[in-house]
Structures are given as C-alpha cells and as structure tokens.
Structure 1
C-alpha cells in the first residue's frame, strides 16, 4: 500500500503533507468535573453542584484547558491598612480567587490563607515597614498585582 497525492505521485514518509499545530491536542487521563454554585430558585442549600466536564480518554485542544483556568482579579481589599507589626486579617474580594495559592504584601508572604469561595479569601498580613505596598496573588494563571493595595501604618508616637 502506498500513499499518493491527488495527481497520482507517491508521497514519501519524509515529505508527508502535515504541519505542527499551534494548539496541540491533549488526552484527558481521568474524569474532570466542574463545580457551579446552586442558582436562585434551585431549592437547594448553599453550596455547589458538580458536573462531568471531560471524561477520561477525551481528546481536546490545549487551549480548552488554558481557558478553564481564569486569572484571579481583585475588586476590594478590606481593611486596606493596618499596623506595621502585621497580624491583620484582611478579606480580599474579586473573581476566580479559588485558585490562589499565595498572597504577598510587598516582598513578604502573608500567612493563614483561607479560600472561602471563588469570590472571597482571607489572609493575615506579615510585618512590614510603614508604607503602601502592592498585594500580589499567585494563582494558576500567574501573578495578579494590586498596586498599593495595603498600607502599613507607623506605630502611634513613632
């Protein structure tokens, strides 16, 4: 058996007419589910329902996976100031926060990170110098920075 062009000429293996794709296919190796909050009128308690998104063995373009990991965004930080000694528990509100793995205040990592939902997390501030610092969130999509998102206040009388 041979392979041929439309004009009848034989195709050599080294000259097979194919090109690499910019969006290569990938095979899903285990079932993957998506979680969605119950909607109003579902008659369900607070929480979420889970649906099968991709069954093991499914072949999809890599870009489909990339789109499933939306970058976090910050809409509010409260309180947005606290003592330079640190220890202030702040609430960050925004979108896609459920993939956040770390929060830093300037160069220093916060502690006690707790993800409450896709729209809210809390974290405790480290100590810092009296000044405004950027708040940086690390998630699957990279780093998200809220410039001057938190202000360390100087101690009273200092």
Structure 2
C-alpha cells in the first residue's frame, strides 16, 4: 500500500472513531431525554399508577421477547423439518434450503416435483482409470511366458 493509501486509511479510521464517539454521546442524550420524559409522564400520578405503568412496560417487554423467541424457535423447527424431509427423500442439502413449504406434506410435494429434474447421478468412477498398466502389455508370447513363470509345472 502506498503513502496515499496509508493516509486515506488513517483518515478513515479517525473518522470512524469520531463517529462512534458522537453516536455514544447521542445515545447518552437520548437515554437522559427518555428518563426525563418518563418522570414527566409519571409526575402528578398517584404512586399506584406509576407502579402500574412501570409493570406494564416490563410486561410489554417480556411479551415482545417471548414472541421473538417463539418466532426464532418456529423458524429453527421449520429449517430442521426441511432438512430432514430432504435427506429422507434424497434431495441434496443445498436444495433443501430452497424449499418453501411449511408442513411435511407441502415439503414432500415440493421435493417430489424437484427430484425428476435432478437426473441420475452418473456412473461411479473406475478406480483403475488413469493407473499405469504396470508394464503387463505386450504380445501373446509375453503372456505365455508370464503364465509359465507364475504356474511352474
């Protein structure tokens, strides 16, 4: 990297550090403003109402977290179902990721539609192909001599 590239890289790093510090400062200001807003909302309310509002916020947060966890678990279960059904039917794993069905029946239908398009997997490779013949070629006379040497009378 040349001198100009190093200067540009240093300038970019410095700009990133500045942007990160500004983002932290703005986040602190936002948190402080939210705290002031919360106290202003609760100002003038009875203590039980303040407690109720606080508990309602906690409940809303817990419900949102639970919903997110359920969605994540459902997505993982569906991904596992797709992988299992594809492996059971002989569909490659790379294609299993492309399936869109949400039930076992839908997945089976999709897999059955895809399998005919994949074709047969070609012949197995010949392990002898490409190996030298170990100098056993030659004439008929050479073959007789090898046989006679291998099978003495």
The TM tier, using the shorter chain, reads under 0.3
Under a length normalisation based on structure 2, what TM-score does the superposition of the two structures give? Answer: 0.22
Determine which structure has more spread, i.e. the larger CA radius of gyration. Answer: 2
Give 1 or 2: higher strand fraction: 1
Under a length normalisation based on structure 1, what TM-score does the superposition of the two structures give? Answer: 0.22
Identify which of structures 1 and 2 has the higher relative contact order when contacts are C-alpha pairs closer than 8 Å and 6+ apart.
Answer: 1
Give 1 or 2: higher helix fraction: 2
